[in-house]
Amino acid sequence: MTIQRSMLACAVALVASMSASYAGPCSSEITRIQGLIDAIHSAKAQGGPAASESVAATTHRQPTPRSIAGAEIALGATQQEKFDAVNAAIVRAVDADAAGDQSACEQALADAKRIIGSEGTQTDDVRR
């Protein structure tokens, strides 16, 4: 996972895990969907393809976000558009929830569920 995606995922998780005193009409569903998304990313990270260590990796240099993204693309491990769309839907849901707009929150969560599609079903079955 690239640094930018990690930071975005952490920010979304932080917003979704805010105190119950700030809970809106669909906070529990946001938390459930965020947990599902986190589980999907964790499963992909653990089971994703691996590549051999390059010579550059052994020369005491830190990888750059660009080099990490390039390696992920080469391995076919990145789905940036899908990731961005799911996180945007969760952010919309959190914003609607904070405003007390249950209809908009539910629509944004439905969008997130639709985007994760069959991946979410498989992971949700494992979590039960």
pLDDT digits (tens, 9 = 90+) for 94-104: 999 999 999 99
Residue 73 lies in a domain: no
Stated length of the chain: 128
Which distant-in-sequence residues (6+ apart) come within 8 Å of 35 by Cβ?
127
Residue 9 lies in a domain: yes
Q: What is the pLDDT of residue 125?
A: 42
Residue 15 lies in a domain: yes
Residue 71: pLDDT over 50:
yes
> Residue 104 has what DSSP assignment?
H
Residue 11 lies in a domain: yes
User: Do residues 123 and 43 lie in contact, with contact meaning Cβ atoms separated by under 8 Å?
Assistant: yes
Residue 105 lies in a domain: yes
Residue 102 lies in a domain: yes
| Distance of alpha carbon 127 from alpha carbon 121, whole angstroms | 10
The tens digit of pLDDT for each residue in 52-64 reads: 777 776 777 777 7
| Distance of alpha carbon 89 from alpha carbon 117, whole angstroms | 14
Total tally of structural domains belonging to the chain: 1
Domain that holds residue 109: 3-46+78-127
Residue 62 lies in a domain: no
Structure tokens at 49: 């393809």
